[in-house]
Structures are given as C-alpha cells and as structure tokens.
C-alpha cells in the first residue's frame, strides 16, 4: 500500500465505522450487552462444571 493511499483508506474505514455505530439504537446495544453477558456466564458455568466432573473421574 502506498503512503498516499493511507489517509483515504483510514478516512473511509472511520467513516464506515462511525455510520455503523450511529445506526445502532440504545435498546439494541443494551440487548447485545445482555445477550453477551448471558453467553459468557453460561460458558463459564459449563466449563467450570465440566472441569469439576473431569477431576472427580480421575483416579
């Protein structure tokens, strides 16, 4: 990539990102946060329970 193309590509990427961020409403963002937190909690609990079960099976 040439040095002269960097500002144009950076500007395009930042403009696209800003447009996407502005299109997301607050309620959608909150829903995303809740779903993500729930998924992380479930993943942690399943991993923890599997680890406990595997430790009990080892002689």
Q: Are 1 and 9 within 8 A, CB to CB?
A: yes
Model confidence at 58: pLDDT above 80: no
Q: Which residues of 15-25 are buried (b: 16+ CB within 10 A; e: fewer)?
A: eeeeeeeeeee
SS3 7: helix
pTM over 0.85: no
| Domains of the chain by residue range | 3-57
* pLDDT tens-digit map of 12-50: 888 888 888 888 887 888 998 999 999 999 999 999 999
| Helix (H) and strand (E) counts in the chain | 2, 0
C-alpha to C-alpha distance for 28 and 25, rounded to whole angstroms: 5
């Amino acid at each position: 990539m040439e040095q002269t193309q960097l500002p144009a590509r950076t500007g395009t990427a930042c403009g696209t990102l800003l447009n996407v961020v502005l299109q997301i409403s607050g309620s959608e963002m909150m829903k995303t946060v809740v779903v993500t937190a729930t998924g992380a909690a479930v993943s942690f609990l399943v991993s923890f329970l599997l680890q406990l079960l595997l430790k009990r099976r080892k002689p």
